[in-house]
Amino acid sequence: MNPATNPAAMTVPLCDLLAQLRDLEPQLLEAVTRVLRSGQVINGPEVAQFEQAAARYGGAPYGVGCSSGSDALLLALAALGIGPGDEVLLPPFTFFASVGAVCRLGARPVFADIESATYNLDPHQVESKITSRTRAIMAVHLFGQCADMEPLWSIAERHNLAIVEDAAQAIGAEYQGKRAGTLGGIACFSFYPSKNLGAYGDAGLAVTSDPDWAERMRSLRNHGMEPKYYHRFIGWNARLDALHAAMLSVKLPHLERWTEMRQAAAARYDALIDEYHVGGFLQRPTVRPQRRHVFNQYVVRVGRGQRDALVRYFRAQKIGCEIYYPIPLHMQECLDYLGYREGDFPASERAAQDVMALPMFPEIHVDQQHRVVQCVAQFLRQQARVAA
């Protein structure tokens, strides 16, 4: 039977990248051809044009394209002069790149727990962690919603700390009417293919309103050269390829429309969770007032200690899902030297045990979403039969 007429046979991917390719393929191929024919595949006008447009979108005057969101974080911290002996505060519930950038510079990551509802850094946990060695706060805007910045601004001002936004998942997100990219000293974005604005490979961007930091990041991403073959800093190769920049320039004008499509899909999930009466089992994403959530992921908290069983059921039913993130950073083997233990950050540890991401991409169809939530209801009925 055709899956289109048999919802039970419908497979649903976690993220479908082909829909955007089908929609924009002629423009993307034209952009690639233009770059190849120009012979300017490293730096050049394609990179500069995208940097300017993407920085304007984020509300910042300066953009520095780079090879990944991970390198954007590394460039930001290096531009601030962070290194051995310094400490950077950040949450333990995020992707490893956040802490990896701190460690690679020889600085020490210091963790503060998250808010249970939003999974973002809890400002009330931050100030007690500050020492004379603290140099910066890394505010991670997880899953597409900005962290609670106003109290972090006050803390940073009192202690003369920089704020770095890890906005890898939050391009276009807003806090009190201000866009991610303008909420700290430097903001870092990822264009990994599954992001709201995705390249066809790795790419990233750091934005700032400080011309000196921007100049330093531009130099650092190119082995610290300024001018060519004269090295002011010890940098590394973190350039944004012109091919990626050109394709991202094609995609950028569509980002607002795609964001609205994600928000509509999130609203449909909210309604379907009610329709299928599974709201007591799945805790929907919490969207705080004065936030614009851009839903890079639609992450639910699964009740009754059944997250892993539900993940197995989804995969058996060919429904995409993912666990972001199964192990908090303070419990990662390579960070044992920091001396943290299980129980130190209970909100992060509970999230790691309970959360899972449902399929989310702009083009997701209502029938696909019905199939996803229907599977949750089927899982609960199955569990009830086993328990009876």
Interstrand relation of 162-166 and 87-90 (parallel, antiparallel or unpaired) = unpaired
Contact 272, 250 (CB under 8 A): no
Interstrand relation of 87-90 and 134-140 (parallel, antiparallel or unpaired) = parallel
**pTM of the model as a whole:** 0.96
Q: What is the arithmetic mean of pLDDT over 7-12?
A: 80
Query: Is 21-112+119-254 CATH 1.10.150.20?
Result: no
pLDDT digits (tens, 9 = 90+) for 293-305: 999 999 999 999 9
Q: What is the arithmetic mean of pLDDT over 42-56?
A: 97
Give residue limits of the domains in the chain: 21-112+119-254, 255-387
Q: What is the arithmetic mean of pLDDT over 253-272?
A: 98
In which band, very low, low, confident or very high, does the pLDDT at 222 lie, cut at 50, 70 and 90? very high
Over pLDDT 90: what percentage of the chain?
96
Which residues lie across from 90 on neighbouring strands? 111
Q: What is the arithmetic mean of pLDDT over 76-81?
A: 98
Q: Which among 205, 198, 297 is positioned nearest to 254, based on CA atoms?
A: 198
Task: Summarize the chain as % helix, strand, coil (round to 5).
Answer: 45, 15, 40
Whether 291 shows a pLDDT value over 90: the answer reads: yes
- Which is it for the CA torsion 361, 367, 368, 369, positive or negative? positive
Q: What is the arithmetic mean of pLDDT over 140-161?
A: 98
| Cα–Cα dist 358/101, whole Å | 28
pLDDT digits (tens, 9 = 90+) for 51-76: 999 999 999 999 999 999 999 999 99
Whether 5 shows a pLDDT value over 60: the answer reads: no
Q: Given this structure, which CATH class describes domain 255-387? A: alpha beta
Q: What is the arithmetic mean of pLDDT over 245-272?
A: 98
Whether 287 shows a pLDDT value over 50: the answer reads: yes
Token duo for residue 206: 């750091």
Q: What is the arithmetic mean of pLDDT over 282-303?
A: 98
Q: What is the arithmetic mean of pLDDT over 147-158?
A: 98
Tokens 């233009």 belong to residue: 34
pLDDT at 6: 56
In which band, very low, low, confident or very high, does the pLDDT at 387 lie, cut at 50, 70 and 90? confident
pLDDT digits (tens, 9 = 90+) for 363-382: 999 999 999 999 999 999 99
In which band, very low, low, confident or very high, does the pLDDT at 42 lie, cut at 50, 70 and 90? very high
pLDDT at 3: 42
Whether 1 shows a pLDDT value over 90: the answer reads: no
Whether 35 shows a pLDDT value over 80: the answer reads: yes
pLDDT digits (tens, 9 = 90+) for 315-336: 999 999 999 999 999 999 999 9
pLDDT at 4: 44
Q: Which among 154, 151, 149, 156 is positioned nearest to 134, based on CA atoms?
A: 156
Q: What is the arithmetic mean of pLDDT over 333-346?
A: 98
| Cα–Cα dist 74/80, whole Å | 10
Q: What is the arithmetic mean of pLDDT over 76-86?
A: 98
